[in-house]
Amino acid sequence: MLCSMKISQDIRREHGGDLALDPVAGMAEKSKEFAAAGNRVYLPLAD
């Protein structure tokens, strides 16, 4: 097993890699957050 695959497997085991989560719903939520922030990739720098 490749090292990166083992690390990923360990993280999922320890932190509950829930594959039941809906990735489409997650992307829709992030899309709403992006729209609320102004649909801009580069945001102005904060003071």
Above 60 in pLDDT, residue 1? no
Return the HEC string of 1-47.
Answer: CCHHHHHHHHHHHHHCCCCCCCHHHHHHHHHHHHHHCCCCCCCCCCC
Residue 34 confidence (pLDDT): 92
Q: What is the pTM of this model?
A: 0.46
* Tens of pLDDT, residues 8-38: 888 888 877 666 667 788 889 999 999 998 8
- Residues 13 and 11: their CA atoms lie apart, in Å, by 5
Above 60 in pLDDT, residue 44? yes
Residue 35 confidence (pLDDT): 94
Residue 20 confidence (pLDDT): 60
